[in-house]
Amino acid sequence: MTKYLIAPSILSADFARLGEDVEAVLNAGADWVHFDVMDNHYVPNLSFGPLVCQALRDYGIDAPIDVHLMIEPVDRIVPEFAAAGASLISFHPEATRHVDRSLQLIKEQGLQCGLVLNPATPLNVLDHLMGQLDLILLMSVNPGYGGQSFIPYVIDKIALLREMIDASGADIRLEVDGGVKVNNIGELARAGADTFVAGSAIFNEPDYEKVISHMRDQISANV
Ligand code: DX5
Ligand code: ZN
């Protein structure tokens, strides 16, 4: 049976009290910590890096940390994130010269690896790579900011990718990121996603437990 995972994007958390806020969202039922790394180069925004990942581990956060790199280049920072306690690292294929080399580098560090596809990036970049990946992240907004609206055509892309993953027989998570809310998460699960990033939809609500349980109810009602 598929395990559906909720991965709050801490880009929308309270940076001034990040440890407490991440602990609160995990206590409210979240599964993973989604960690958005932005460099003001690959994307037009700047967020946080390995020092902050390490600080969360030092604070006592032991949930999986799902590092989403929106940086260019990719390779240099991978060992730093491994040392800082990342569990999984995913990156955008456009952001590295040698996609296979970057994937191998992540695996050599003992971490799980993923590729991230922007809304307009075609699924055929995954050809030849299905056997190498632990996760494929479909962006449902253009990367760079939290709080944007879901781009509807990504639903069809989720369904196509679900077919590709099932046909490959590989054990790959299908994660969706951008504009995920209580009112669309059911449809995304029905299309074939199993891992859901949500930033503003969770952190902008006063009661994290309530919104996460509403999300789980919507998933269960649609699969
Ligand atoms: C966007 C990031 C997302 C973002 C999601 O570039 O990758 O993880 O924070 O935020 P919401 O859920 O608010 O769209
Ligand atoms: Zn993200």
- Residue 36 beta carbon below 6 angstroms from any ligand 1 atom: yes
DSSP 46: B
Sign of CA dihedral 136, 137, 142, 144: negative
Q: What percent of the chain has pLDDT over 90?
A: 100
The answer on pLDDT for 112 being more than 90 is yes
Centre of ligand 2 to C-alpha 206, Å, is 22
Output the residue whose Cα is nearest ligand 1's atom 9. 146
Mean of the pLDDT values across residues 26-31? 98
pLDDT at site 156 = 98
Query: Does ligand 1 come within 6 angstroms of the Cβ of 68?
Result: yes
Q: pLDDT tens-digit profile of 173-210?
A: 999 999 999 999 999 999 999 999 999 999 999 999 99
Distance CA 198, CA 185 (A): 10
Phi, psi (5° rounding) for residue 135?
Answer: -155, 145
* CA proximity to 24, closest of 208, 198, 181: 208
Single out the residue of 47, 46, 83 nearest to residue 65, CA to CA. 83
State residue 109's pLDDT score.
98
pLDDT of residue 1: 85
The C-alpha atoms of residue 184 and residue 163 are separated, in whole angstroms, by 20
pLDDT tens, position by position, 128-182: 999 999 999 999 999 999 999 999 999 999 999 999 999 999 999 999 999 999 9
143 close to 43: Cβ distance less than 8 angstroms: yes
Checking if the pLDDT of 27 tops 90, the result is: yes
